[in-house]
Amino acid sequence: MGTTILIIEDETDLLELMEYHFQKAGFETAGFLSTKNVEKFLEEERVDAMIVDRNLPGAEGSEFVEKLRQKGIDAPVIFVTAKDSDTNIEEGFLRGGDDYLTKPFNMNELVLRVRAILKRAGSTPSSTLIHRDITLNLDTREVFVGRTNIELTKLEFDLLHTLITHKHSVLNREFLLEKVWEEEAFYQDKTVNVAINRLKKKIDPGKEKNYIKSIWGVGYTLC
């Protein structure tokens, strides 16, 4: 799997913006608007770092992190918060934070800070992405299904890469055009349909594994 960043932020627009920037930088993300269900998620999934707001509904962010630390969850934490007094900052570190960034902040700086704490923790972003029995090597741009090396064009590789890095989302055609083709205005929806069908034939020629699901009227998702 790739490097996963868990984000807890109660402002929907900001959460979506952070997820967008981290996914664009090659990370996988798991976003939550509150601490509800986060502990259950952490029991089932491994994360490499957490970004936590302190002003959250139902729980104060640093108190929640302190509780996670007491349970043995040691993933690095960056607090991103409007609480900017010296006392607030000291409190954040004492309760288990590894870094502290006050709002408003620069999104690129946040990504750089996450990369820095991952490097210190010995968890640099992986050059390999895995979904089921599909493996993408981002350095060599090779694709394997099981042990079989699949020859993909640059566009097909980029399309599969995008689907895997957003595997918990349904991606509409406009997003894929912008992300993969980059010049959205010069292409049409059928361009995406043709490319998806070509990719499906290459990674699943027997039509047995159904990696890519079409959501009628919306777009595509991995399954």
Rounded distance, CA 27 to CA 48, Å? 10
- Answer whether 4-120 and 128-222 agree in fold: no
Which CATH architecture group holds 128-222?
Orthogonal Bundle (1.10)
**pTM of this prediction exceeds 0.85:** no
Output the pLDDT for position 218.
Answer: 86
Tell the CATH superfamily of the 4-120 domain. Response regulator (3.40.50.2300)
Domain extents in the chain: 4-120, 128-222
CA distances 31 to 6, 15, 136, 158, Å, are: 6, 7, 24, 24
- Please identify every stretch of the chain with a pLDDT value under 70, giving residue numbers as ranges: 1-2, 122-127, 183-189
Local structure of 136: helix, strand or coil:
strand
Q: Are 159 and 191 in contact (CB under 8 A)?
A: no
Q: Are 2 and 14 in contact (CB under 8 A)?
A: no
Output the pLDDT for position 177.
Answer: 87
